[in-house]
Structure 1
Amino acid sequence: MSIYADVVLFINFVMNTIILVLTAYAAGISYKWKRILVTAIVGGVYTLAGVFPDLAILYSIPGKLVASALLILLAFGYRSPKITVTLIGIFFIVSFTLGGALLGWLYFIQTEAPFLTVNHIIRLSWQNLVMGSVVAIILIRVIYKKVLTKMYRKTTYYQAVIEYAGNSQAVTGMLDTGNGLFSLLGRKPVVLLTLQPALQVVSTEAADFLTSNSADTWLMNLEQCKDSVWLARVEVIPCRSVGGRDMLLGFRPDRITVMTEEETVNTSEVLIGIYDGEFNSRDCQALLHPALLTGLNMRKEASTCKLPGQ
């Protein structure tokens, strides 16, 4: 039997690229094409190593686990133990889904009973490879994305403290992988904060302004606010809501501190967007931008994030 290394390498390069991109999509993380392509090539070389008997250990279960972890680190970099383990798990789920989709597609298009002959062989053509990949992409996009997002959101609540002008307010925040809001000035990530905790952190004059005006008139009536220092920190945040575009009122705090299991994150490079409503979970007062913690979903699209609940 002849083995064409270039063919094997190219096929694995294509499949590895698909798997890594789908892993990033299912996890909701950003990625760089350069790292994805380099990792896909490394994965193809790893596959070729299987033809050498002396390297058989690389294809043992521990060897495959180590190789998968190294591929994830190479493709997406180190984030945290929890995130890295999650990415490895998603990587295997996507790989199994893609393999199962390919096998399922081959049996689906087969017109003869597979068990009538002992030496039944299924030939994998480029057309079948593409169709199986399409099936896998649909499955991951429709099913796994929703399931993984729900599972992920259940375990990503953090305690945070927002500080401004000598005031501080502790809140429970949820890491929202769907939050793609960035400020127009300085491209700072936006943390959405409900009104009540926002009233506790701003000055009395600013709080009076927010409570004496309805949310849809905050931007129009800014001149009524008597706190000029706070007004100097105010920024307009464009976002997308159902039926068109919308605007949120935001301000730059002195600092936000987020406590995670691994570390405590402090930053002043953030914008607080005041949200006059409630999130799906009543125990949550803030939606934390993924850029604060893990770099998840760092698509810098300042005007494309939907408002919560819409």
Structure 2
Amino acid sequence: MYIYADVVLVVNFIMNSIILAVTAYAAGISFRWYRLFLAALAGGMYVLIGIFPELKILYGTAGKLIVSVALILAAFGRRPVKITIMLVGIFFIVSFALGGATLGWLYFIQSESPYWSDSNIQISWKTLAVGSAVAVTLLVFLARRMLSSMFRRKTFYRAKIEYDGRCEEIVGMMDTGNGLYSLLGRKPVVLLAWQSALNLVGSQVASYLTANSSEAWLARLDECKDSVWLARVEIIPCQSVGGKSMLLGFRPDSITVMTEEGLAYTSEVLIGLYDGVFGNGSDCQALLHPALITSFNTTKEAGVCALPGR
């Protein structure tokens, strides 16, 4: 029997990359592609251990569990224990679904019974690709819907946004359907009611936003005289009910969200200005991205500006 190590490594690298990417999407967390690819490569190298009988202990149930946890940590970094356990669970669900979908597709396209003596299971690149596409489609549209119920138990969070020495305290709703990321650096996007941003951005920007309609914010950016804020402006493409549209966004210094486990802090975020109302009859001022509480470590310190109620 011949084993082509390069083929095994490439196939498993591709499959691991797909599994880890779908795991991140299903959990609603952000990630860095280079870390994900390095973890996928490490997973591919782990498969090659099977050719060494003296290392068979690593192929046991305990060994596979340890390696899976290591891959999650390598791909997504150190996170709270609950989040890590959730990611490992999703990782296994995605792995089983992907393998099952590939095998199911193989049996679906076979024209002969697998019980006939001359019938062998042959997995080609095309079969692997189609089976993977079927699995990814199912997972993206079904798994995330089921997992989103885990986050809806606690919908509203208190948070603070800091920008250029100013601080705005808000109440935000965690939106599990918010999949917006910036074009540059793949930062999660928080949609903030523009009225709540007036005290945060300064008088020049506030005057500019107030003097123009939301539809004209992008077209008339040259009217804003705040060069510091303009240097942080980014355009956010999004999908709306009427089709594709663009939102005006800017990079704050940081955002801190109060959670049960402490304060989730990050500077890797983008604020999108929204001309609308969140939550009828509530005090909600923003739609928070789920990555804000699943992607970053928590801390017990509130920082310079105290959160509401503290």
Cα shift at 1:69: 0.7
Unaligned runs of 5+ in 2: 297-310
Cα shift at 1:104: 0.5
Cα shift at 1:162: 5.0
Is the 1:259–1:265 Cα contact (8 Å) retained in structure 2? Answer: yes
Q: Greater shift after overlay, 41-50 or 152-161?
A: 152-161
Amino acid at match of 1:67: V
Report the counterpart of residue 257 of structure 2 in structure 1.
Answer: 258
Distance 1:281 1:179, change over 3 A: farther
Is the 2:183–2:236 Cα contact (8 Å) retained in structure 1? Answer: no
Cα shift at 1:127: 3.1
**Counterpart Cα distance in 2 of 1:129 and 1:269:** 36
Larger Rg belongs to: 1
Amino acid at match of 2:71: L
Report the counterpart of residue 279 of structure 1 in structure 2.
Answer: 278
Cα shift at 1:282: 6.2
Report the counterpart of residue 68 of structure 2 in structure 1.
Answer: 68
Q: What RMSD over aligned residues (CA atoms) do the two structures have, in Å?
A: 4.6
Verify: 1:127 aligned to 2:126, yes or no.
Answer: yes
Is the 2:236–2:272 Cα contact (8 Å) retained in structure 1? Answer: no
TM-score (norm 1): 0.66
Is the 1:161–1:257 Cα contact (8 Å) retained in structure 2? Answer: yes
Cα shift at 1:103: 1.1
Distance 1:29 1:172, change over 3 A: closer
**Other structure's SS at 1:160 match:** strand
Is the 1:180–1:289 Cα contact (8 Å) retained in structure 2? Answer: no
**Counterpart Cα distance in 1 of 2:228 and 2:110:** 65
**Other structure's SS at 1:171 match:** strand
Is the 1:257–1:264 Cα contact (8 Å) retained in structure 2? Answer: yes
Cα shift at 1:131: 2.6
Cα shift at 1:171: 1.3
Distance 1:66 1:215, change over 3 A: same
**Counterpart Cα distance in 2 of 1:190 and 1:10:** 34
Distance 1:255 1:40, change over 3 A: closer
Cα shift at 1:270: 6.5
TM-score (norm 2): 0.66
Q: Greater shift after overlay, 232-241 or 172-181?
A: 232-241
**Counterpart Cα distance in 2 of 1:270 and 1:5:** 44
Is the 2:13–2:43 Cα contact (8 Å) retained in structure 1? Answer: yes
Distance 1:141 1:115, change over 3 A: same
Report the counterpart of residue 149 of structure 2 in structure 1.
Answer: 151
Report the counterpart of residue 181 of structure 2 in structure 1.
Answer: 180
Amino acid at match of 2:12: N
Report the counterpart of residue 104 of structure 1 in structure 2.
Answer: 104
Is the 2:29–2:291 Cα contact (8 Å) retained in structure 1? Answer: no
Counting only pairs closer than 5 Å after superposition, residues 44-123 of structure 1 correspond to structure 2 as: 44-115=44-115, 121-123=120-122
**Counterpart Cα distance in 1 of 2:286 and 2:103:** 44
CA deviation digits over 1:19-52, x for unaligned, max 9?
2233334334444443333323322232232344
Cα shift at 1:208: 11
**Counterpart Cα distance in 2 of 1:30 and 1:167:** 25
Distance 1:133 1:282, change over 3 A: farther
Q: Percent identity?
A: 51
Is the 2:234–2:250 Cα contact (8 Å) retained in structure 1? Answer: no
Cα shift at 1:288: 2.5
Is the 2:182–2:270 Cα contact (8 Å) retained in structure 1? Answer: no
Cα shift at 1:114: 3.2
**Other structure's SS at 1:264 match:** strand
Report the counterpart of residue 308 of structure 1 in structure 2.
Answer: none
Amino acid at match of 1:191: V
